[in-house]
Amino acid sequence: MINLDKNKIVLGSYSSYEWMNDPKHLLFSMSRYKFVSKMLKGKKNVLEVGAGDGFKSKIVSEAVTNLDLCDVTNSSQKQYQLFNIEKNNYFIHDFTKKKTNKKYDGIYSLDVIEHIEKNLCDKFVNNLKKSLNKNGVLIIGQPSLSSQKYASKYSKKLHVNCFDKDELENYLKNFFNNVFTFGMNDEVLHTGYDKMCHYVFAICIQ
């Protein structure tokens, strides 16, 4: 069996930190990518916003024709280039400032919107919308506002823009005609009571 494939995987800094400090969280996080891969299966051109070291992106890449990755930091791009066997197009882009020139059939952004300052959030979502093709799909995932009482001090400091499920749905309806929200606890997706959702997904359609 050991001779089947000589390629070895080295985790980037983000995924390595999760594995070393809270391996269960890495599992939960990868489950979110699996959900995205199922929702965007078969899409031709897809973009991940806030890809980090890109380790988990392969889950989605396997389900779509072409996956581009982007982030706001050069260090994230370098992590991807250093450690990933996959070589998707990875570029630097700030959606609080502008849309992309290329249009996508699907865009997803996991664990990003909670880091966007409230006064910049409208621009962020508007530019995501403008980067979609007609009938394109946007998927946003973020930790719920209710979960923040259990978050670490470090997370609380960085999570400046969390929503509960109903709040995220109502907010995104300012930009999209159709918004479908789901809760997630650990790796289990559900439609249960909003305040008991640790994580929230929204699927937005033009």
Work out the pLDDT band at 89, boundaries 50, 70, 90: very high
Q: Quick: pLDDT tens for 45-84.
A: 999 999 999 999 999 999 999 999 999 999 999 988 888 7
Q: Give the pLDDT confidence score for residue 199 in this predicted structure.
A: 97
Token pair of 55 as six digits: 């380790």
Going by pLDDT thresholds of 50, 70 and 90, the confidence category of residue 107 is very high
Q: What is the pTM of this model?
A: 0.94
Q: For 64, what's the count of Cα atoms within 13 Å in the CB-facing half-sphere?
A: 28
Per cent of the chain over pLDDT 90 is 82
Mean pLDDT of the chain, nearest integer: 93
List all residues 6 or more positions away from 75 whose beta carbon is below 8 Å from its beta carbon.
Answer: none
> CATH homologous superfamily for 27-205?
Vaccinia Virus protein VP39 (3.40.50.150)
Do residues 131 and 47 make contact, with C-beta atoms less than 8 angstroms apart? yes
CA-based nearest residue to 61, from 52, 75, 79, 48? 48
Q: Is the pLDDT of residue 8 over 90?
A: no
Give residue-wise pLDDT tens across range 130-159.
Answer: 999 999 999 999 999 999 998 888 788 899
pLDDT at 4: 59
- The rounded distance, in Å, linking the Cα atoms of 175 and 172 is 5
Q: Which sequence spans correspond to the domains of the chain?
A: 27-205
- pLDDT at position 57 is 95
Res 2: pLDDT? 54
- Tallying the residues shown for the chain, one arrives at 206
